[in-house]
Amino acid sequence: MIANPITWPDGARCAVAMTWDMDADSAFNWYNQNTADNLVAAQSWTRYDPLIAIPRLVDQFARRDLHLTFFVPGWVIEKYPAQIDLLLKNGHEIALHGYLHERSNEIDKDDELYWLGRGLEAYRKHVGAGPRGWRAPSFAFSKHSLRYLLDAGFEYDSSLMGDDIPYALKEGNASLLEFPVDWTLDDFPHYAHNRDLGYRMPISSPQRAMEVFRSEFDAAWEFGALWISVWHPALSGRLARFRAVLELLDYMRAKGGVWFARLDQVCDHVQKLMAGGRWTPRCETMPLYQSPLPEFSKDHRGAGTHGTTGSAHC
Amino acid sequence: MIANPITWPDGARCAVAMTWDMDADSAFNWYNQNTADNLVAAQSWTRYDPLIAIPRLVDQFARRDLHLTFFVPGWVIEKYPAQIDLLLKNGHEIALHGYLHERSNEIDKDDELYWLGRGLEAYRKHVGAGPRGWRAPSFAFSKHSLRYLLDAGFEYDSSLMGDDIPYALKEGNASLLEFPVDWTLDDFPHYAHNRDLGYRMPISSPQRAMEVFRSEFDAAWEFGALWISVWHPALSGRLARFRAVLELLDYMRAKGGVWFARLDQVCDHVQKLMAGGRWTPRCETMPLYQSPLPEFSKDHRGAGTHGTTGSAHC
Amino acid sequence: MIANPITWPDGARCAVAMTWDMDADSAFNWYNQNTADNLVAAQSWTRYDPLIAIPRLVDQFARRDLHLTFFVPGWVIEKYPAQIDLLLKNGHEIALHGYLHERSNEIDKDDELYWLGRGLEAYRKHVGAGPRGWRAPSFAFSKHSLRYLLDAGFEYDSSLMGDDIPYALKEGNASLLEFPVDWTLDDFPHYAHNRDLGYRMPISSPQRAMEVFRSEFDAAWEFGALWISVWHPALSGRLARFRAVLELLDYMRAKGGVWFARLDQVCDHVQKLMAGGRWTPRCETMPLYQSPLPEFSKDHRGAGTHGTTGSAHC
Amino acid sequence: MIANPITWPDGARCAVAMTWDMDADSAFNWYNQNTADNLVAAQSWTRYDPLIAIPRLVDQFARRDLHLTFFVPGWVIEKYPAQIDLLLKNGHEIALHGYLHERSNEIDKDDELYWLGRGLEAYRKHVGAGPRGWRAPSFAFSKHSLRYLLDAGFEYDSSLMGDDIPYALKEGNASLLEFPVDWTLDDFPHYAHNRDLGYRMPISSPQRAMEVFRSEFDAAWEFGALWISVWHPALSGRLARFRAVLELLDYMRAKGGVWFARLDQVCDHVQKLMAGGRWTPRCETMPLYQSPLPEFSKDHRGAGTHGTTGSAHC
């Protein structure tokens, strides 16, 4: 089922990276720039994340000796430094998630770079050194993002959706690893209902949502994939849902053969495989398109060229 | 799982406040100010609440000796006085829910105060004394709301979403208690489908909806939280759904160790714990923001200050 | 659970009126007046109703000796006369459902009357005599509708949502019976997904949808209510769903004590109860509002009158 | 349940055509003509289809000796020729699905013809000969489409939704076969959640989605219908979902009496039945409407003609 199978440490059948996007009130502010100060219930809802859920997650994962990756915007690092310290002290990875949860593909490229700089500055000031990993806020990876990430020294990204296992993104002579996600393993489609967030999904019970996450895990386990959740403390960190998360962890452990890892550990593992010549990732040359498709321009019609837009493979 | 655990009376494991928002036709009128007079099916749907469901609820809860909190807009008190009397006579608490289900964070602050005054006037005229509790219609709590509520002498609010147990909201030297809710325990995401209400959710069976409410209860029971439903008589008071509500009550009672309470009773309990120095609520200083984030202003960029916006804790 | 209980013939515990809205391509044309001619897939989807589903329903209900009410727009009567004849010949009731599935509360009152006239003309020409019953297309009953229906001699309406059992609508000295519906027993929230219809619900399996319909039936059976489905042949008449409908019928029959009836038979029954003084329906005086609420007018604020808008009861 | 029953080869009880729409990044580009170059996560998501899912599907179907129909836009044929070769070599049918997934009923008729020409050119250049079958991208079949398809020599279409078994579409003296679909057997309503695609459905687990697909199959099996899925490799080709697809195939095989076929084989079969006089399809004369309904024109009202818009049957 997987064309280019990868091996996991100690013969594990699959890798599980239970990652969390600790957005706190950043995304909500980005999407409501002129009104967020007046949306007090939504403020409180978004701050359940750092104030209530993060200490809970840290405590429970410590009891299970689990070390996970948290994607955090720079502004959140600045606003909630104690929580960042708590995460770091407990062996969790802090990866970068923009500065103010900016949608990079809806702003111009200079602004994208500006916010990236702010995010890096906040990260370095508090966490030290630079982040190894990036997830584009709202998955809004732009055609400029890869270049910026390579220039900033990122080693991996986890925003794209093109595979079930790690692959590589290349631009010019440089490349980084992509640890792909999918909306299926995001918790928003299952739980998010809040007028001020512009999301009104029917709210699943934790049991129904876990059916989805567990079926993805079972398939990853059977076929050797990398399972990456994109969960939000304000949603999946609530009592009933988090209890179901812990039960899913029990289920995974009982099944056995699972490598639980932070994404920086996945990165180390893949880099080592590559250095040893034991595995080569599929590689995509970016950007795929430099501009909108010429086929949509009426002028283009006479030209008779059905211009393909660059090879997609390295 | 809960960082600042609270004790409940008689050693109960959790508190259950099954609260109802008796909106009748107020919210529907607010959201359709120019057309509501012509939306007759929606009128009839919203009036199922006072005319059919409220007497049913009163009767069934009386048989079970249950006393609950109903949040009612002032305009509804004026329009349906017999129902208010029936609720009061049966030991239910009437708390205030605006005047015409106004969205306070979408109107200016003078208008917010105007409607609050109308609500208080209606409440005092019919119920006597002032209300102890408030829930912002549509959870649309504004940055001015807390000040207004403190000035009006409210002792608790139940509109915000920042915790699993009571906490405190402070502005200046005054504070009140917050009994937090969440969309998960609202019935709109599970049942509301009505073009004229601007809601088109897939409609869950009562069994599926109860999976959600019960899983939240089971977690509250396990971890000692305060479970607060936000139900609407026109939705959850229909025959099939209300039968499921009664079954959920049976389930809760059979499980045991549950303190069923009105929110004014929860308020009394928490105030007593605090007065006795036996428990201190987490406290949030409000408002969190006085204006939109300065980070979004391009002028701000040169300033080099990453202005945090005030401490969030008391 | 029901404040004003009604008795059903032969001591039945509840009444089941499985009604169908045979919209064919009328509603789709109304909602897409300028583009419907070019939406060929949606045309075909809407015509599954008269061309495929109606003969199927007629055949299957004949085998079960069931006689049901079909609400049909006048334009559909004109376009599909053979199907109307088939329904009539098999003992089904044809009630009126507008002319072109017009939304009466979004057009002016003269237009509403014009379309009603067209509907009546089409009905009388093909069916003979006038219809006894009406369902407003899209439940879009306007504040003028009751007056028009009374003038036209209708004996019942089935568009409003204010109760679980029949009630009466009164304007001036005249009144008719209301057989109330609810979106819960409509099949659109469960099955409708079609971009051209402006509906994109997640599609339930027949089993999940039947959970909803059956739970409403079980409650109607337990408490003595009138269960009325609002189903559409293009949705619930498809093979898999219709098989589930037939299984629901089997379930109802096996449970026993169910009076299966057309709405004209329900009308006869209620009229007889009333004439014999054995039951009096709850009565609502209409229209509830003559205009938008005066509370929304700023001029109104000084007036100090909290004008209630007329009594709602007869 | 089926008025005009058809027989299937070897006495099979039903026909199953598990068809896939291999859109790759075409539809996404069509719907985001000005921004698609900057929506990199959506690009990666759409390219999971050709790069990951298609080889997986080909491999797994080869193991099961299954030969299916893939609907592919011409632009996708040009961009992913290796995948097309792989499909062809494994005995799958390539049918045409537009050029750039254009919505034919939202562009003018000359543009529709232009894109059709581009699609045919791409098809013939790579696949050889012309395609026998067509599915309108987004089911956006226009009132001109049938004429164009007949002129281009198509033998069947699979875009409309008017029956459970094959039927015929006739315009003038020419006709082709229609193999009808329905949104119920599309995977978008069950799985699609992606802001950049403008779709935000709650995501079902594979088990829940299969309940829907299987219930449709069970009904097709019981009543002799033609079951046609409209699945997308980027959705249903993911690991967990595709495993459920394979389980559904096992279920179908275990049940027995199923004719698994490509749509060109269904076409051959039906043509043979017709040539032998053993079965006559229901026939619809097209287009149903030449223009918007005259009933909506106020001028029309005085005319007294309730113009029906042409016969719908041949």
Residue B298 has pLDDT above 90, yes or no: no
- How many Å lie between the alpha carbon of C218 and the closest alpha carbon of chain B? 7
Rounded CA Rg of chain A: 20
Select the residue from B104, B215, B235 to test the A interface by mutation, using most A Cβ atoms within 10 A: B215
What local confidence, expressed as pLDDT, does residue A307 receive? 41
CA dist., res. D162 & res. C52, Å (int): 8
What local confidence, expressed as pLDDT, does residue A190 receive? 97
User: Looking at chain C, which subunits does it touch, using at least 3 CB pairs closer than 8 Å as the criterion?
Assistant: B, D
Positive/negative CA dihedral, C57, C62, C63, C67: positive
8 Å CB contact between C237 and C56: yes
CB atoms within 10 A of CB C257: 12
For residue B59 the two structure tokens come to: 């009767």
Q: In 3D, which of A153, A163, A146, A287 has the Cα closest to residue A225?
A: A163
pLDDT digits (tens, 9 = 90+) for A239-290: 999 999 999 999 999 999 999 999 999 999 999 999 999 999 999 999 999 9
Model confidence band, residue B302 (pLDDT cutoffs 50, 70, 90): low
User: Looking at chain B, which subunits does it touch, using at least 3 CB pairs closer than 8 Å as the criterion?
Assistant: A, C
Q: Which chain C residues are closer than 8 Å to D163 by Cβ?
A: 48, 51-52
pLDDT digits (tens, 9 = 90+) for B2-61: 999 999 999 999 999 999 999 999 999 999 999 999 999 999 999 999 999 999 999 999
For residue D270 the two structure tokens come to: 């039906």
What local confidence, expressed as pLDDT, does residue C311 receive? 45
Taking CB atoms and an 8 Å limit, are D37 and A312 in contact across chains? no
Give ∠ CA A208-A193-B143 in degrees, rounded to 5: 150
Taking CB atoms and an 8 Å limit, are B35 and C292 in contact across chains? yes
CA dist., res. D100 & res. D102, Å (int): 5
Residue C310, amino acid: G
What local confidence, expressed as pLDDT, does residue B309 receive? 46
| Percent of residues, chain B, with pLDDT higher than 90 | 92
pLDDT digits (tens, 9 = 90+) for A128-143: 899 999 999 999 999 9
Q: Which chain C residues are closer than 8 Å to B47 by Cβ?
A: 162, 288, 312
* Spatial CB neighbours of B79, under 8 Å, sequence gap ≥ 6: B24, B25, B50, C308
Model confidence band, residue B305 (pLDDT cutoffs 50, 70, 90): very low
Q: Which residue of A has its CA nearest to D63?
A: A1
Q: Which chain D residues are closer than 8 Å to A1 by Cβ?
A: 56, 59-60, 239, 242-243
pLDDT digits (tens, 9 = 90+) for C265-309: 999 999 999 999 999 999 999 999 999 999 998 776 755 444 444
8 Å CB contact between A282 and A4: yes
Predicted complex ipTM: 0.96
Residue A158 has pLDDT above 90, yes or no: yes
Give ∠ CA D60-D62-D65 in degrees, rounded to 5: 115
DSSP assignments along D170-184, one per residue? EETTEEEEE----GG
Tell me the residue ranges of DSSP E strands in C143-221. Answer: 156-157, 167-171, 174-178, 193-194, 199-200
Q: Which residue of C has its CA nearest to D165?
A: C52
Residue B299 has pLDDT above 80, yes or no: no
Q: In 3D, which of C132, C173, C178 has the Cα closest to residue C155?
A: C132
* Spatial CB neighbours of C313, under 8 Å, sequence gap ≥ 6: C282, C283, C284, C285
Largest CA distance in chain C: 67
CB atoms within 10 A of CB D80: 23
8 Å CB contact between B255 and B221: yes
| Percent of residues, chain A, with pLDDT higher than 70 | 96
- How many Å lie between the alpha carbon of C86 and the closest alpha carbon of chain B? 31
- How many Å lie between the alpha carbon of B289 and the closest alpha carbon of chain A? 5
pLDDT in tens, chain D (314 residues): 999 999 999 999 999 999 999 999 999 999 999 999 999 999 999 999 999 999 999 999 999 999 999 999 999 999 999 999 999 999 999 999 999 999 999 999 999 999 999 999 999 999 989 999 999 999 999 999 999 999 999 999 999 999 999 999 999 999 999 999 999 999 999 999 998 888 999 999 999 999 999 999 999 999 999 999 999 999 999 999 999 999 999 999 999 999 999 999 999 999 999 999 999 999 999 999 999 999 998 776 755 444 444 445 57
CA dist., res. A256 & res. A253, Å (int): 5
Q: Which chain C residues are closer than 8 Å to B41 by Cβ?
A: 136, 139-141, 159-161
CA dist., res. B213 & res. B196, Å (int): 26
Select the residue from A114, A208, A239 to test the B interface by mutation, using most B Cβ atoms within 10 A: A239
Q: Which chain B residues are closer than 8 Å to C2 by Cβ?
A: 56, 239
CA dist., res. A265 & res. A69, Å (int): 10
- Bridge-based pairing state of the strands D174-178 and D156-157: parallel
| Percent of residues, chain C, with pLDDT higher than 90 | 92
Select the residue from D238, D239, D242 to test the A interface by mutation, using most A Cβ atoms within 10 A: D239
8 Å CB contact between D227 and D181: no
Residue A235 has pLDDT above 70, yes or no: yes
Q: In 3D, which of C80, C31, C122 has the Cα closest to residue D305?
A: C122
* Spatial CB neighbours of D136, under 8 Å, sequence gap ≥ 6: C41, D98, D104, D142, D145, D157, D159
8 Å CB contact between A137 and A116: no
Q: In 3D, which of D50, C194, B248, D167 has the Cα closest to residue A284?
A: D50
* Spatial CB neighbours of C46, under 8 Å, sequence gap ≥ 6: C23, C24, C25, C27, C28, C234
CB atoms within 10 A of CB A199: 15
Q: Which residue of B has its CA nearest to C288?
A: B37
- Residues in chain C with pLDDT values less than 50: 304-311
Break chain A down into helix, strand, coil percent, rounded to 5.
Answer: 50, 15, 35
Select the residue from B21, B178, B200, B289 to test the A interface by mutation, using most A Cβ atoms within 10 A: B289
Q: Give the mean pLDDT of A52-66.
A: 98
CB atoms within 10 A of CB C255: 14
